[in-house]
Amino acid sequence: AQKVTQAQTEISVVEKEDVTLDCVYETRDTTYYLFWYKQPPSGELVFLIRRNSFDEQNEISGRYSWNFQKSTSSFNFTITASQVVDSAVYFCALTARDYKLSFGAGTTVTVRA
């Protein structure tokens, strides 16, 4: 069984602050993929980033960066210099051998001007 936990329900920041979203996962598979999705107020789900279990290198893509640590089963996501347009619900998700995508409950980010 797979499980994804996002302990933070809501985060509120002022524009230009950094925001870090926590994600902890559980899986018995050794090969798996982790994702972050964004759901803006308009409701659609947008794929942001993906990381496989064999690559713990942390990366930066524009204002997004992620920290993947297998030792603590964590896949944290950071938005640098937040903007009002970053206000959304962010979902962490996991897929493994069965190809089913398991979602966390989501973290609502509010960026105030």
Partner 1 sequence: DADVTQTPRNRITKTGKRIMLECSQTKGHDRMYWYRQDPGLGLQLIYYSFDVKDINKGEISDGYSVSRQAQAKFSLSLESAIPNQTALYFCATSVAGGSNTQYFGPGTRLTVL
Q: Where on the chain is the footprint of partner 1 (CB under 8 A)?
A: 4, 33, 35, 37, 43-47, 50, 52, 91, 95, 99-101, 103-106
Find the shortest distance in angstroms from Cβ 35 to partner 1: 7
Find the shortest distance in angstroms from Cβ 88 to partner 1: 14
Amino acid letter at 99? Y
Residue 70 per-residue DSSP state: G
> What is the Cα–Cα distance from 98 to 84, expressed in whole angstroms?
37
Tokens of 41: 């107020």
Closest CA to 52 of 71, 80, 75: 75
Cβ proximity to partner 1, 80 vs 108, nearer residue = 108
Find the shortest distance in angstroms from Cβ 87 to partner 1: 17
